[in-house]
Amino acid sequence: MIEKIKKLERQSSSLEPNADDRLHWQRKVEQYAFKFIDDLPLKKTYIQTEDGGKELINYPISDHPIPIEKALHILEKNVDNIGLNPASGGHLGYIPGGGVFPTALGDYLAAVTNRYAGIYFGGPGAVRIENMLIRWMCSIMGYPETASGNLASGGSIGNLIAIVTARDFKKIEPQDISNSVIYLTSQVHHCVQKAIRIAGLHRAQTTYIPVDENFKMDVNALREQIKSDVADGKKPFLLIGSAGTTDVGAVDPLNDLADVAEEFNLWFHVDGAYGGFFMLTEQGKARMKGIERSDSLVIDPHKGLFLSYGLGVVLIKNVQAQKDAHQYQANYMQDALNDTAELSPADLSPELTKHFRGLRLWLPLQLFGLAPFKSALDEKLMLTQYFYHEVQKLGFEVGPFPELSVMIYRYVPTKGDANDFNKKLIQHVQHDGRVFLSSTTIDEKYWLRIAILAFRTHLEIVDLCLQVLKEGIEKLQEPN
């Protein structure tokens, strides 16, 4: 038996490479990463390919190791050089991410040290960092320090945690669901509907309140609807507002919504996954007045703080409600119980074994300080206003004046179908690839969007985007 164990030990020992081998791998990865960053200005933002990285099937997982050079080559060719490049400053579609470099270092350290960030007992320092970050975000958003929250993988999970908490706090039992009412607008992000479904609330009465000409919830319509629902014996329990919609970056009248929520005793949830961090700017603060009166709030550092993908945050004022909806105990966890110095993420979310994702936020904030983040956010707001004016000079029709850093616009040609023209225009932009834009349809009108939130997007790229659009219009209008 000892013989056999020793033999297996020898065979598995390659899982702990020696210092030279570690250094070799690390150097190669470092070179690859630095080249990737340095080459960004030379590369297209969007690369259409026929095969979509299909060659990857030639490299199945097997018993045999491959050298790092080969692994990186496979990635370069089949992953990093095709499709959309979210690290590029030319990413102006959907809601851009970014990827400030220390995020990667934070992930690296978290992975090497593998600190456990699920329960305070096991990783007191890691959990403390995450809780400090949550309290810091509470202070930015005007929440009390006694609020709780969770560092989740993204805004979708953050919204789910909030909605599940609201459901349980408002005691929506299975037999009550069909009579319970949730209020939102057609402009909420689709992950909210998804979360409602996963929370088992899809048979509740999800009621869409009309929006005004700026795509904000009509508060009077909301109040009338609630009154009539109450008169009909229904149970309104949840109001969902947006602090920056995906289509146009609209901020609902949050202060008015908070009044209504108070009046009718509703849980008031705000989805600020895109817009929330504009609270770091004066303009954003003015637009989002009332956000601090919500019961729960989602904000995405992997959008508004320019981190690489993988961090969305939910903040919830009622700690006990969040715990009641998520805390479970088990015999095999008995050593970890009864530690009350800090809240434990595992008691506040669906996760147990949890990546120490706080480090990917903590390290960039420490290394850069907050000031450049604030400037970058102000810069994005101004670039969007600049685009709003410049794109009209090219003859585009525009949607509402941008409250944040997303806006819609469309070109109406003198002849032919406008929807068709704009569809072709977006195809032109995506085929060109120097910048990436996406589109949306609102009330059957096809609109182009611009979303400026990548930290690498500066004036030069916005000008390039205008140039690409100009060329597109000219090309589409050429007589052929």
| Amino acid residing at 20 | D
State which of positions 165-194 bind ligand PLP (CB under 6 A).
Answer: 189, 191
Stretch that binds ligand PLP, among 45-53, 154-162, 262-270, 389-397 (CB under 6 A): 154-162
312 part of the interface to ligand PLP, by CB under 6 A: yes
Report whether 405 contacts 449 (CB < 8 A): no
154 near ligand PLP, judged by CB under 6 A: yes
CA angle at 144 for the pair 139 and 148, rounded to the nearest 5°: 95
Cα distances (angstroms) measured from residue 326 to each of 90, 202, 296, 320, 347: 40, 20, 15, 10, 6
Stretch that binds ligand PLP, among 33-41, 164-172, 268-276, 472-480 (CB under 6 A): 268-276
- What is the nearest approach in angstroms of ligand PLP to the Cβ of residue 143? 18
Q: How far apart are CA 314 and CA 310, in angstroms?
A: 13
Q: What is the DSSP letter of 402?
A: P
| Closer of 118 and 154 to ligand PLP (Cβ) | 154
Task: By CB under 6 A, tell whether 277 contacts ligand PLP.
Answer: no
Q: Rule CB under 6 A: is residue 284 a binding residue for ligand PLP?
A: no
Figure out which of the listed residues 209, 273, 429, 462 binds ligand PLP, where binding follows CB under 6 A: 273
CB of 341 to ligand PLP, least distance (A): 30
Q: Are 118 and 125 in contact (CB under 8 A)?
A: no
Would you say 407 and 388 are in contact if contact means Cβ atoms under 8 Å apart? yes
Q: Which is nearer to ligand PLP, 251 or 469 (CB)?
A: 251
Name the residue nearer to ligand PLP (CB basis): 284 or 472: 284
Residue 216, CB-side half-sphere exposure with 13 Å CA sphere: 19
Of the ranges 37-45, 108-116, 151-159, 334-342, which one interacts with ligand PLP (CB under 6 A)? 151-159
Query: What is the rounded distance in angstroms from the CA atom of residue 407 to the CA atom of residue 449?
Result: 6
In Å, the largest CA–CA distance within the chain is 85
Residue 395: count of CB within 10 angstroms of its CB: 13
Nearer to ligand PLP, 298 or 468 (CB): 298
278 forms part of the interface with ligand PLP (CB under 6 A) = no
Of these, 84, 87, 95, 465, which contacts ligand PLP (CB under 6 A)?
95
Q: Let me know: does 79 contact 73? Beta carbons within 8 Å.
A: no
**In this structure, are strands 296-299 and 267-272 parallel, antiparallel, or unpaired?**
parallel
Of 246 and 322, which has the nearer Cβ to ligand PLP?
246
> Which residues partner with 296 through β-bridges?
269, 316
- 190-219 residues near ligand PLP, rule: CB under 6 A: 191
Give whichever of 89 and 244 is closer to ligand PLP, judged by the CB atom: 244
- Whether the Cβ atoms of residue 412 and residue 420 lie closer than 8 Å to each other: no
In whole angstroms, the minimum distance from the beta carbon of 289 to ligand PLP comes to: 18
Which of 274/388 has CB closer to ligand PLP?
274
Nearer to ligand PLP, 162 or 363 (CB): 162
Nearest position to ligand PLP, beta carbon = 155
247 binds ligand PLP per the rule CB under 6 A = no
DSSP 202: T
CA distance 295 to 270: 8
Minimum distance from CB of 377 to ligand PLP (Å)?
Answer: 15
Torsion over CA of 147, 150, 256 and 215, rounded to 10 degrees? 170
Question: Does residue 351 belong to the site contacting ligand PLP (CB under 6 A)?
Answer: no
Q: Is 274 in the site for ligand PLP (CB under 6 A)?
A: yes
Site size toward ligand PLP (CB under 6 A) is 13
| Residue 85 in tokens | 């490049």
Tell me if 380 contacts ligand PLP by CB under 6 A.
no
Find tokens 């560092």 and name the residue: 151
156 binds ligand PLP (CB under 6 A): yes
Task: Please give the Cα distance from 129 to 138 (Å, whole number).
Answer: 14
Residues forming contacts to ligand PLP in the complex (CB under 6 A) are 95, 154-156, 189, 191, 244, 246, 271, 273-274, 300, 312
